[in-house]
Amino acid sequence: MAGVKPTDLAPTAAVKFFGAGTAACFADLITFPLDTAKVRLQIQGESKSSEGKMVVKYRGVFGTINTMVKTEGPRSLYNGLVAGLQRQMSFASVRIGLYDSMKQFYTRGTDNAGIGSRLMAGCTTGAMAVAFAQPTDVVKVRFQAQVRGAEAEGVKRYSGTMDAYRTIARTEGIRGLWKGCGPNITRNAIVNCSELVTYDIIKELILQYNIMTDNLPCHFTAAFSAGFITTIVASPVDVVKTRFMNSTAGKYNGAINCAVMMMRNEGPKAFYKGFMPSFLRLASWNIVMFVTYEQIKKHVMRAQQSWESPI
């Protein structure tokens, strides 16, 4: 290995797997309030007043955050954080960390991956991640939707993360922990394809045309672009997923019924509720995650080279 530059080394699958999970957790710690605001805006409109009018409590991403801080306290912005970190460690490790390996699988070990191979790899790891980590996503959404302080009104759903897992399994069955798995698989197949393939292609083009070198500005630009495109493509499915996962038993017959009810009661604009916090959250999450992920890979490979280099 002497004389080999760190950039010439390819990170192992294990480095990518654990590096992706770690980077995703770090990104969640920073952007979680935006995700919580997105969930609150997405479920707004489900409840109506006694006069049958739609209850509008939150207006805009920063208005939602401000309202939550005033009425529930700053801690409410991090409702469900534990489940969120559990989700990222298991979820992002699979969907992001295994993407390159799956891409090689579809190209039979070659480095010439076309758009079809990239899309197939993104869909596959996205679906695998949901099937594995769905319970953590259900609990995260339930906590984010739960109004802090609502226990005083007798409507608190769960006392803690582990209580949420136990309560859902007891009252809704094991299937309750995988509630919304169908729309979530659809949503994450779309997100993964949009996010990873866009990042992959934009980064590749930047390097190919020597616009930037393989450094932080390059990663920032590719990640921001991926976040914008992904939000536009995935927002409708994301809203349906959130509504369905947060719903009480029997409210909707399924994800399609949830989408139909949204269209009937609130119109097509309902599918883009929470778009701005979705974009702000996804763009900032992508930037933090991909920049951190790239740095982890580089530092691990440099450390590996120093260990293997002769003294």
Digitized pLDDT (tens) for each residue of the chain, 311 residues in all:
333 344 456 788 899 999 999 999 999 999 999 999 888 988 887 655 445 566 678 888 899 999 999 999 999 999 999 999 999 999 999 999 999 999 999 998 777 788 999 999 999 999 899 888 999 999 998 888 887 654 445 556 788 889 999 999 999 999 989 988 887 888 788 888 889 999 999 999 999 999 999 999 999 999 999 999 999 888 898 888 888 888 887 888 888 999 999 999 999 999 998 888 889 988 999 999 999 999 999 888 888 777 766 55
Assigned domain for 283 exists: no
Assigned domain for 116 exists: yes
The strand pairing partners of 48, in sequence order, are 54
Provide the domain limits for residue 172.
82-145+156-179
Contact in structure between 286 and 228 (CB atoms under 8 Å): no
Assigned domain for 239 exists: no
- Dihedral over alpha carbons 16, 22, 28, 30 (to 10 degrees): -120
Nearest C-alpha neighbor of 216 from the set 126, 310, 298: 298
Assigned domain for 253 exists: no
Assigned domain for 255 exists: no
pTM check: above 0.85: no
Assigned domain for 227 exists: no
Assigned domain for 88 exists: yes
Number of structural domains found in the chain: 1
Assigned domain for 92 exists: yes
Q: Enter the tokens of residue 109.
A: 């070990």
